[in-house]
Amino acid sequence: MSASILMVDDEAVFRVLAEEALTAEGFEVRTASSLKRARAEFERGAPDVLILDRRLPDGDGIDFLKGLRADDAPGRGDSSTSTIVIVVTAYGDIENAVEALKAGAWDYLTKPVQLTDLVVKLRKVLETRGLKDRLAIARSSAEGPAMVQPKSPAMREVVERLRSVSVSPLTPVFMYGPSGVGKQRAAELLHALTWTRDDPNAPFLEVNCAALPDDLVESELFGHEKGAFTDARSMRRGLIEMAAGGTLFLDEITELPPRSQAKLLKFLDTMRFRRLGGEREIAVDLRVVAATNQDVNEAVAASRFREDLYHRLAVFWLTIPPLAARREDIPDLALAFACFFAGRVKKHLTGLTPQAILALTSYDYPGNVRELRNIIERAVILARGPLVDERDIILPEAGRPAPAVPSEGAFFRLTAGDGDAPPTLETVERAYVARVLEYCQGRRMAAAEALGISYPTFLKRLRELGLE
């Protein structure tokens, strides 16, 4: 059973993003937008951890916290099993922090909350309360089945190369492969081969460079000291510091801004860095794994990616082949996904029929392993018996067509009247993205897939277009 989280916050965007991030970390997450709803959720069952906003539409979260601690008083229950509370507040002064701690909070965070900080806080909670093993099991369950032992020669070669470089724990690794091919899973396997034998608690931190706002990249990677910039109300460790003794996975590395590329290069050369606004150099040992689905040589030629950084990262180069080039792996991957999703929806499935396997191995998977995973998830939901059958396998050409690009006339109708000047490219893109979102009924992950871009890249573009 995974560790349970109840998040009480009236800010919808923060709730959604935090729920996605914490679910990916393996937590069982419930949310509430008011104290009334929070009380109803507690009646359903007390969570292991409560993430509690202070200013809510129907009252102060501190009053709710005091009520919880009163219920934990002697004679009214076992306080050792009480919910741990992390208070989140936009009011970052010391008085509010002290008040929260006196009321019984385990710790506090000030808004705007960085999701990486929240995850780190929760991991400390788990270590404190003996729930660490539950998180490890939950993370494995949440992220999917363990990497399937490959049968294809191409993937066997990849695994063998990962084993080779695992004996050199500080060597940077550069991974190339199309979107959805499993670069992060390969990085996780390398991490396990490198660290977990000697240190099972070695950290693995992942960041999608395309999802980081340009003005926050350096703070995310290197951390900052209190007062380093306007919103730096306290010292914050960066991802590099938190990944010390483990692995830092930098996905979509070619999207890193030029200034941050220079600082990353300097760090890789010395394995030392300073937090923003700091004077002290901090030395760390870790492995950096970078990945991209872009043509790196083209990015270098276009001056979007530093050639010296590329050579520093590509000490050990690895190409992850597309799924269509390793069809021998499809049956085992499909079975692993089927078992995983059957557990999620509480169905008793024993496998896939030969006809279903034939249908799966006959498809080319432009979306690679991620697309296979989605197809199997849909098939498990549709399956009516103990086996996934061919009729449950809905491939894209047989299902709903992808949204077509609206015609030029359609864009003009959206953005300009007769006789008006042609719209700007950004206006056209905003109209198109809005149309795709409408087509996908507001489901952002589906819209990102329809547009052929990663989910973090899609979220970043939504912010830039003012559509968030």
Mean pLDDT of the chain: 81
Which of these three, 86, 110, 142, is where a domain ends?
A: 142
| Residue 93 in domain | yes
Confidence class for position 112, pLDDT limits 50, 70, 90: confident
Check whether residue 28 and residue 95 sit in a common domain: yes
Check whether residue 159 and residue 286 sit in a common domain: yes
Domain that holds residue 85: 4-142
Domains held by the chain: number: 4
CATH of the domain at 447: 1.10.10.60
Average pLDDT of the residues in 302-329: 94
Confidence class for position 291, pLDDT limits 50, 70, 90: very high
The C-alpha atoms of residue 97 and residue 227 are separated, in whole angstroms, by 18
The rounded radius of gyration (Å) of the Cα atoms in the chain is: 24
Which of these three, 321, 353, 369, is where a domain ends?
A: 321
At residue 91, the pLDDT reads: 56
The C-alpha atoms of residue 30 and residue 37 are separated, in whole angstroms, by 11
Q: 422 phi and psi, to 5 degrees?
A: -60, 145
Which stretch of 3-17, 244-258, 381-395 has the lowest confidence by average pLDDT?
3-17
Indicate the pairing of strand 204-208 with strand 387-388: unpaired
The C-alpha atoms of residue 300 and residue 343 are separated, in whole angstroms, by 45
pLDDT digits 0-9 by tens, 189-225: 999 999 877 777 788 998 888 877 777 888 889 988 8
The C-alpha atoms of residue 337 and residue 369 are separated, in whole angstroms, by 10
Check whether residue 378 and residue 287 sit in a common domain: no
Check whether residue 312 and residue 170 sit in a common domain: yes
Check whether residue 210 and residue 328 sit in a common domain: no
Check whether residue 392 and residue 365 sit in a common domain: yes
At residue 324, the pLDDT reads: 92
CATH of the domain at 380: 1.10.8.60
| Residue 148 in domain | no
Check whether residue 240 and residue 257 sit in a common domain: yes
Give the distance, in angstroms, between the CA of residue 73 and the centroid of all CA atoms in the same chain.
Answer: 39
Average pLDDT of the residues in 167-190: 93
Confidence class for position 349, pLDDT limits 50, 70, 90: confident
Check whether residue 165 and residue 279 sit in a common domain: yes
For residue 329, the tally of other CB atoms under 10 A from its CB is 22
Q: Torsion angle, CA of 125/128/131/137, rounded to 10 degrees?
A: 70
| Residue 228 in domain | yes
Check whether residue 277 and residue 211 sit in a common domain: yes
pLDDT at 45 over 90: no
C-beta separation of 207 from 238 below 8 A: no
Check whether residue 254 and residue 339 sit in a common domain: no
Average pLDDT of the residues in 132-151: 53
Check whether residue 305 and residue 350 sit in a common domain: no
Share of the chain above pLDDT 90, in %: 33
| Residue 427 in domain | yes
Average pLDDT of the residues in 278-292: 92
Which of these three, 360, 376, 398, is where a domain ends?
A: 398
pLDDT at 145 over 60: no
CATH of the domain at 21: 3.40.50.2300
Q: Which residue has the higher pLDDT, 106 or 73?
A: 106
The C-alpha atoms of residue 46 and residue 44 are separated, in whole angstroms, by 7
| Residue 70 in domain | yes
Which stretch of 15-29, 131-145, 454-468 has the lowest confidence by average pLDDT?
131-145
- Tell whether pTM > 0.85: no
CATH of the domain at 210: 3.40.50.300
Check whether residue 315 and residue 328 sit in a common domain: no
| Residue 429 in domain | yes
For the chain, report the end-to-end CA distance as a whole number of angstroms: 34
The C-alpha atoms of residue 195 and residue 247 are separated, in whole angstroms, by 9
Tokens of 187: 């990085």
